[in-house]
Amino acid sequence: MSENGHSSRARAAEPIVAAYRERILYALALIATVVLLPFSIGNFVKGYPLIGTVSMAVVLIFVADAVAIYLRRRLPVPIPVAFVVIMVALVIAIWGRGLLGIFWTFPAILLFHFVLERRLANLFNLTLVALVGGVAFYTLDTDVALRIVAGQLLTIVFTNIFSYVVEAEQKKETEQRRRLGLLVRATNAGFFQWDRASDERVYSGRLKEMLGHAPDADTSAWPPLPEFMHPDDRERRVSRFQEGARQIAQPGVQRLAAGGDFRLRHANGEYLWVHAQGLFIHGDDGRVARYIASLVDVSERFRQQENLRRSHNQIEVQAQQLRDQNAALRDAIRVREEVERIARHDLKTPLNSILAALRQLRDKRRPDARESDLLGMVEGAAYRVLDLVNLSVDIYRMEQGEYRFSPRVVDLTALAETVARDVRAHADTKGVRIEARVDGEPADAEHRAYAWAEEMLCYSVIANLLKNAVEASPDGATVRIEFSQAGGQAVLRMRNDGVVPVSVRRSFFEKYATYGKVGGSGLGTYSARLMARVQQGELSMHTSDEEGTVLELRLPALPEGAAPILHGAQGAAKSAAVQDARPLPALRILLVDDDEFNVAFVRSGLPSPPLQVVTAINGRAAVAAAKADAPDVVFMDLEMPVMNGFEAIGRIRALEAAAGRAPCKMIAFSSYDDDAIRRRCVEAGFDAYLSKPAPRERIHDILHAVAEGRALPEPVRPRKPRPSGPDDPVDVDPDLLGALPRFVETRSALIEELRAALLAGGREAVLRLAHKLAGSLALYRFDWAADESRAIRQAAADGGDLASLAERCEALRRHLRAFRLRDRGDDGRAPQAAAGR
């Protein structure tokens, strides 16, 4: 049981009693020496030399062992030997002095117990008790002896209990320490400890490993921890540590330090990221006595964050590239659209002129069969080109619902004849005949079919249908075109004896569906149906083995009063009868167009006398002409070189104002028909708008209206109404007047709800209600009210103060109670009285 090497670890692992064994022996030895020495000497004096000798021997053993412990040397007298001597001394003392000797047994029991290992101690003690007991019974009273033995036994039992309890506690602590050790190992954290008093720095094995050293490396020569930190992190960490270490607290307090991330230098020179969490422990003087920190290697996390940031940057770069590409694409599309637009205008204008001139030729010259064929060839060619020019862009606009449908009278039979002429050559090679009937009668000058539609679209549809029919028809059969009228619609049925294959039937009208047609784009039937629907018509297909295939095109029929344009001799006569019999007023007309064909065409419809017609080739010439001789009516093309229509009207209006003249009526001509143009016309101050080619009747209607001082037909309808105010009359659709009272009632209730929500601060409700109001008011053309509702909603969505919006709500409510309806005028209805009864 000699402890030669000192090792704190070994000490910690042994039972606590054993851990202190040496100290106990040392202490006891000193005390025993001090206490025993007088008694020992006394024995000699009192004449007990044997007892004196042995007790002196015990004292000397104690001294020798104590000195040896102090000097950290081997014990000269091993403990078991010492105890045997002690026992012998005790026995001799008891034998010699009886009870007096027995008193020493009690400290001896304790000495044995705390110095020896338990089993050995109990053995010694029980042996001692036996010996002492024996002697006691021999030399003393039985009563006394009994009590002595009992007392000794009890003492042994109590010390055993005591050390047992202590050991149990100590085992718990050992277990906890073991667990802590495991935990520490498991967290993979390194631990660092700094002791202020000794300025000692302790690195746990794991921490040393983290820094690239052996776990048992000697750290006594290591510099302070800040030396290991990355220079960029050092100052921050050191100042934070010093701040924390300066604080004072109650003794024993453990204060959590601010954790943080920083870099430590690895043995290989690189830096690793660690996350540190420290604890300040205050000593008895209130200052920080110790600092313990756990450090966790977080380099991996930092690496991943860095990767993430890099890939985010990459994504951002790619997103930016995509955005740039999109912008470039949009530009390209815009450029292409512009080019298309210009090309279309430059192509359409002369083509329209060609067609118009051809029509005039037909009207005037009554061509014979051969001439008719020749004319037909030219017409067909012109139509085909026009169709191509229109097709691509218009299809898109139709799909988007942006196509503005402007119907006029269309002679379907004439179109069918034109197309038939084109396909005749192909039909002949198959022996296929084409027959057209109107209401059962063969189509001729008297039997014609008309629709209220657009000529080019109808041409496209009929061309598509007829060509397909001829291709699908079996050889030698007949393709029948049947025109009729039914239920307010003009109907065209194209029959052929071919049968549409079953597999194709369902996708017949689908975009990009082709069936066996080599090089087909698949757009034919799709666009045909689209065009039919855009004209408020429909295209349908029925096919069966028994009856062949019928394609049925329905279009709106002519409305009341629309005059069909008739061709041919009888047509001329009829048209003369049908045409406006009123004489044209005597007006001064200025006709401005850079396209000589259109000028000729329009001019031909403006007989002078009674009209006085001056023509100008572009805007500049127009301004000069207007200056020289003020016209009553100006028909002005918009797209002209040198000076276009928009600029010209500005200048003409300016010189009218300067000269104090009443503004003349100015009508815009354009090949384009879209809202952008119409809007510009409104803003420029045009009174009406005609798209080319404009029929003579329209022009005449306008002239009559000017002469009679009436409102012009074909006014430019602005797309977006000018911003209106609360006092402007509301332009409600006449169809909706019946529903108006209920509408006003329900909207007023909603406005009340909105006001309540605004005052209560319920932003969600405000958004919902304002949105509902805005939508419905817009539909019923309460434009100012709709704008106000939208504005309220936007203000609420932007986080504005809700209560202040309640006033605008009030204005809305007042408006709904007192609005006026706009006098639509045409049918002479008197303005409605204010609603809100």
Which region, judged by CB under 8 A, interacts with another protein, from 157-165, 236-244, 528-536, 586-594? 528-536
Q: Whole-number minimum distance, CB 628 to another protein, in Å? A: 42
Two tokens, residue 333: 């599309």
Largest CA distance in the chain: 178
Which region, judged by CB under 8 A, interacts with another protein, from 12-20, 197-205, 258-266, 730-738? 730-738
Q: Whole-number minimum distance, CB 556 to another protein, in Å? A: 11
Position 336 contacts another protein (CB under 8 A) = no
Which region, judged by CB under 8 A, interacts with another protein, from 100-108, 631-639, 689-697, 734-742? 734-742
Q: Whole-number minimum distance, CB 731 to another protein, in Å? A: 11
Site for another protein in 545-584 (CB under 8 A): 554
Give me the phi and psi of 277, to 5 degrees please: -135, 120
> 470: closest CA among 426, 501, 438, 437?
426
Q: How far apart are CA 731 and CA 744, in angstroms?
A: 14
Number of residues that bind another protein (CB under 8 A): 37
Query: Which residue in the set 324, 439, 733, 801 belongs to the binding site for another protein (CB under 8 A)?
Result: 733
Position 486 contacts another protein (CB under 8 A) = yes
* Closer to another protein by Cβ: residue 471 or 731: 731
* Closer to another protein by Cβ: residue 158 or 396: 396
Two tokens, residue 792: 């309220």
* Closer to another protein by Cβ: residue 93 or 786: 786
Position 341 contacts another protein (CB under 8 A) = no
Which region, judged by CB under 8 A, interacts with another protein, from 394-402, 460-468, 496-504, 565-573? 394-402
Q: Which residue has the tokens 């012009």?
A: 712
Number of Cβ within 10 Å of residue 784's Cβ equals 20
Give me the phi and psi of 597, to 5 degrees please: -65, -45
* Closer to another protein by Cβ: residue 259 or 721: 721
Q: With contact defined as beta carbons under 8 Å apart, do 418 and 461 qualify? A: no
Which phi-psi region, left, alpha or beta, contains residue 252 (left: φ > 0; alpha: ψ -120 to 50)? left
Position 528 contacts another protein (CB under 8 A) = no
Position 739 contacts another protein (CB under 8 A) = yes
Q: Whole-number minimum distance, CB 723 to another protein, in Å? A: 13
To which H or E segment does residue 797 belong?
helix 783-797
Binding track over 747-786 against another protein, x by CB under 8 A = x--------------------x--xx-xxx-xxx-----x
Position 743 contacts another protein (CB under 8 A) = yes
Q: How far apart are CA 84 and CA 87, in angstroms?
A: 5
Q: How far apart are CA 526 and CA 401, in angstroms?
A: 15
Position 742 contacts another protein (CB under 8 A) = yes
Q: How far are the Cα atoms of 10, 60, 117, 599, 790 from residue 4, in angstroms, in the given order? A: 11, 22, 17, 128, 94
* Closer to another protein by Cβ: residue 526 or 635: 526
Provide the b/e sequence for 116-129 (b: ≥16 CB within 10 Å): bebebbbebbeebb
Binding track over 487-506 against another protein, x by CB under 8 A = x-x-----------------
Number of Cβ within 10 Å of residue 522's Cβ equals 15
Site for another protein in 396-455 (CB under 8 A): 398-403, 405
Site for another protein in 685-724 (CB under 8 A): 719
Dihedral sign for Cα atoms in the order 398, 401, 403, 408: positive
Amino acid (1-letter code) at residue 720: K
Two tokens, residue 300: 């991996």
Q: With contact defined as beta carbons under 8 Å apart, do 451 and 558 qualify? A: yes
Q: How far apart are CA 716 and CA 723, in angstroms?
A: 17
To which H or E segment does residue 485 belong?
strand 478-486
Contacts for 98 with CB less than 8 Å, ≥ 6 apart: 139, 140
Q: Whole-number minimum distance, CB 777 to another protein, in Å? A: 9
Site for another protein in 80-109 (CB under 8 A): none
Which region, judged by CB under 8 A, interacts with another protein, from 217-225, 433-441, 531-539, 605-613? 531-539
Q: Whole-number minimum distance, CB 735 to another protein, in Å? A: 5
Chain residues in the site for another protein (CB under 8 A):
398-403, 405, 486-487, 489, 530, 533-534, 536, 538, 540, 554, 719, 733, 735-736, 738-739, 742-743, 746-747, 768, 771-772, 774-776, 778-780, 786
